[in-house]
Structure 1
């Protein structure tokens, strides 16, 4: 099998990747990890010299802005790793599976199900590769520290994961975060943290030929933003019915249902965000958790929609200040959305922001803190 670093070099030679110092550093670390894991396999070099099981290979936590090549490197690592006991899975899907396994063990016998779940997972995977580690709800936060301590320290599983955030920013400001802090300490103690924040946003290249604002909000517009979603997430369009959802913690012991959420991309209807009673905490949680938001069905609003218009202003402010990329289907251009009614004059600032958010300069900004 071709080694990871050789495959990476070939992609650069073919012009499919540009030279990137951070990417190369991560690729070299992952290549070294491959060698460790392959040396430990049955019949490998270490197993020939040591009767007892060798020490677990130290994992890797890759983090960085959107489109910096984290998922690409993860794919290369997993594809070229020459062991059978490996698994690559999106983190959200993995946690859903964990919850299901915990319920099954609780039904089977009393007591703590987490050691049983960790042992079951470790039976088939010496190396777990997660894409897009993100924590958006208190249930996952409560589980993760204990589960991953069992997997890493007791079962000897090597973890490789990607995230848009450094470990210390995971589940930032989340409900009951104190229960999650030991997980951050575990990651920093047991995994090598590798940052990827080079100058090239490769994911942005995928949508470079697509608009961000589609009007009117017809079937053609829906098809366009659907294409945006699949380009950004690498999800198979043929499996569209199984795009995962999420529960996003918004504070005060509340959670917001996200109908479609994958790899930092969230899809909402205008009705869910602005017709239902929402406030700044909801919108700030969305802006912090997702680098790209797709909103479908934005209507033209009049004086009778002043509440919806006010919520929309607060939503756009949060997305803009956190440099979130916005794709939308709407009944008209931004200038036509709310022309008369309470706050119509103030709405002009939102129009200006919506137009700026369509610009190349805005789309090139990294997701993060206020501008």
Structure 2
């Protein structure tokens, strides 16, 4: 049998791999409660009714406080089938499955999708629950209702308290029953740690590398290792049928080549979705900009404006310093503002300040 999360936490603190934090310690009993219930062997019998599943856990709080780290340790402590997945990626899977059921003529497409999901896993660990898409908002309530009824236990992290999910969203009144469902089936706990550990991992590090050569890549590899802890996954965000590919993603941080974001026909809505999902972005191999790649340059300006307004921590490797990235062609004068913002986003404490 695996160790309870509290024992794993003690071992990691003793080994020096994580820093002891009283706010994180305060939530350990909730994880242990769930693990004890789901790990317990189920007594079987024809007339024996299965015990009700334990309440799940909804952990919310600021970025970099250790929510994802604790959830990963929790999954490690389980002896039952569990799946840890980013919430956006999970909802994309669900949307695709529902679409297939509709094409097949299924009367209620959510029902078979929910059954397939609940049959595969006993515990779901969702990282970074947030609802910004109307399609997700219309599906998630019925989906989770069926998961809970099937005995699935859900643990999720979020930067928002449940009452702020899908805030100001279209037809939000139809979404409110889902918030009530979360409160009924899950313990709501704020992880109010004072320290932003993600910022601490890259504090004092260089954040703009030029030229974008092997030396720059090695430095960025080191930063990425600190941010991801060696754990990463691809993530695809979908906005109105367009896809934003994040080939390397880990707990709110992403590492993406320039042409993946600026070489495709993306616009403000796409970059806004990106900024809502990613708090630290490593943008690699920004080329020299000018007449020959004017469209890419325009998208780059829009991307930087969006990340600036969102307060996103930005790490860049580029062909030149900000002031010399775009020196000729239409829009070169206007690019001075972008260069200025790139400089400001390199300033010490930008992420925390923003």
Q: TM-score range by the shorter chain?
A: 0.7 to 0.9
Q: Using a 3 Å threshold, how does the CA distance of structure 1 residues 268 and 79 change in structure 2: closer, same or farther?
A: closer
Measure the CA separation in 1 of the matches of 2:306 and 2:103. 43
Indicate conservation of the 8 Å contact 1:258/1:266, yes or no. Answer: no
2:17 alignment counterpart: 16
2:166 aligned with 1:202, yes or no?
no
2:333 aligned with 1:336, yes or no?
no
Deviation at 1:155, TM superposition (A): 1.0
1:69 alignment counterpart: 66
Secondary structure of the residue aligned to 2:114 is helix
2:83 alignment counterpart: 87
Q: Using a 3 Å threshold, how does the CA distance of structure 1 residues 270 and 80 change in structure 2: closer, same or farther?
A: closer
Measure the CA separation in 1 of the matches of 2:311 and 2:111. 41
Indicate conservation of the 8 Å contact 2:89/2:236, yes or no. Answer: no
1:245 alignment counterpart: 236
1:368 alignment counterpart: none
Q: What CA RMSD, in Å, does the superposition of the two structures yield over aligned residues?
A: 3.6
1:3 alignment counterpart: 4
Indicate conservation of the 8 Å contact 2:210/2:216, yes or no. Answer: yes
Indicate conservation of the 8 Å contact 2:203/2:349, yes or no. Answer: no
Indicate conservation of the 8 Å contact 2:255/2:282, yes or no. Answer: yes
Deviation at 1:167, TM superposition (A): 2.7
From 293, 299, 302, the equivalent of 2:287 is 299
Secondary structure of the residue aligned to 1:257 is strand
Deviation at 1:8, TM superposition (A): 1.6
Q: Using a 3 Å threshold, how does the CA distance of structure 1 residues 142 and 233 change in structure 2: closer, same or farther?
A: farther
Structure 1 spans left out of the alignment, 5+ residues: 366-370
1:361 alignment counterpart: 349
Measure the CA separation in 2 of the matches of 1:158 and 1:130. 11
Deviation at 1:159, TM superposition (A): 0.6
Deviation at 1:96, TM superposition (A): 4.2
Indicate conservation of the 8 Å contact 1:258/1:268, yes or no. Answer: no
Deviation at 1:362, TM superposition (A): 1.3
Measure the CA separation in 1 of the matches of 2:258 and 2:89. 26
Deviation at 1:129, TM superposition (A): 1.7
2:120 aligned with 1:132, yes or no?
no
Deviation at 1:174, TM superposition (A): 5.4
1:317 alignment counterpart: 305
Deviation at 1:18, TM superposition (A): 2.8
1:211 alignment counterpart: 206
Query: Could you state the TM-score of these two structures normalised by the residue count of structure 1?
Result: 0.77
Query: Could you state the TM-score of these two structures normalised by the residue count of structure 2?
Result: 0.80
Deviation at 1:105, TM superposition (A): 5.0
Deviation at 1:357, TM superposition (A): 1.8
